[in-house]
Copies of this chain bind each other. A is one copy, B any other.
Amino acid sequence: MNTPASSTPTHPLDEALALAPQAGDGASAARVFAGAPHAAYDNMVGPFGGASAAQMLQAVLLHPDRLGDPVALTINFAAAVSNAPFQIVAEPARTNRSTQHWVMRMTQADAQGAEHTVLTATAVTAVRRSTWSATDAPAPEAPAPEQIPRAPHSGMVRWIERYDMRPLAGAFPAQWDGQEADSLSRMWVRDEPPRPLDFASLTALSDAFFPRIWRRRATPTPIGTVSMTVYFHVDAAGLAAVGTGHLQAQASAQVFYNGFFDQSGLLWGPAGQLLATTHQIVYYKE
């Protein structure tokens, strides 16, 4: 029993993930959930994209017909999400014996009450079996998180405060001097305050890198993620083994071409297990 006197405060991510199931029409397996961006994950305009992605996955996780755990997730940032209520529709488009394919959409109402699409998404969930396994991308050697100071996080956009980030390589540019560098960054990262890892938080963490083009060019460049994919390589036992430990996270770009660059990321658990691989394509202005 939680009572106001004895309960610990709810984590802001859990508040963001508390979507409300809406009454359905009964005609299809699609379910509608209502929610809103959380002020603790504010970005420059609207919410941090990782928090929105986590909310989209949450609609699948809350769906009563869900089979298995997330294996793949693709989120398309179709328009700026505003700090206003939204609806997410999650539909199991195909259910097989051990895999299930999902289609999701987030809409927000305009001033006239008409709903407009702001995010589209697809996901795959699956019941995993124990098989031969191997990791060919081991975690790089790194000093322990306690040995690295937390990166500056106050006076910036608010969602940065929600992550304990400890740069290992390729830190945020110290000065915007246009000095070209490589695009690689590595860091220790976890939720702040600490929160046991789950699929929703791992999704948000997959979007917690600063834009690769800022590192590559050391030039302030307007950007916006257009599409993000996360592949999950972990099950419930693996998540439990991480708990509130820091993840080692790495991101780099391969190409910047006429307004869009890519980003490839890897997230390892404290013991070096590869938990997720992630990819983005990001718009940039000039």
Total copies of the chain: 2
Q: Does A126 contact B (CB under 8 A)?
A: yes
Q: Are B257 and A136 in contact (CB under 8 A)?
A: no
Q: Are B137 and A256 in contact (CB under 8 A)?
A: no
**Shortest distance between the CB of A1 and any CB in chain B (Å):** 37
Q: Does A116 contact B (CB under 8 A)?
A: yes
Q: Are B233 and A132 in contact (CB under 8 A)?
A: no
Q: Are A122 and B233 in contact (CB under 8 A)?
A: no
Neighbouring B residues of A132 by C-beta, 8 Å:
217, 256, 286
Q: Are B134 and A231 in contact (CB under 8 A)?
A: no
* Interface hits, A252-268 → B, CB 8 Å: 252-260, 262, 264, 266
Q: Are A255 and B229 in contact (CB under 8 A)?
A: no
Which of A13-21, A69-77, A152-160, A163-171 is the interface stretch? Answer: A69-77
* Interface hits, A123-139 → B, CB 8 Å: 124, 126, 128-137
Q: Does A284 contact B (CB under 8 A)?
A: yes
Kindly report which residue of chain B lies nearest to residue A75, judged by CB atoms: B122
Q: Are A284 and B131 in contact (CB under 8 A)?
A: yes
Kindly report which residue of chain B lies nearest to residue A128, judged by CB atoms: B258
Q: Are B131 and A117 in contact (CB under 8 A)?
A: no
Q: Are B94 and A118 in contact (CB under 8 A)?
A: yes
Give the CA-CA distance A78 to B103 in the complex, in Å. 11
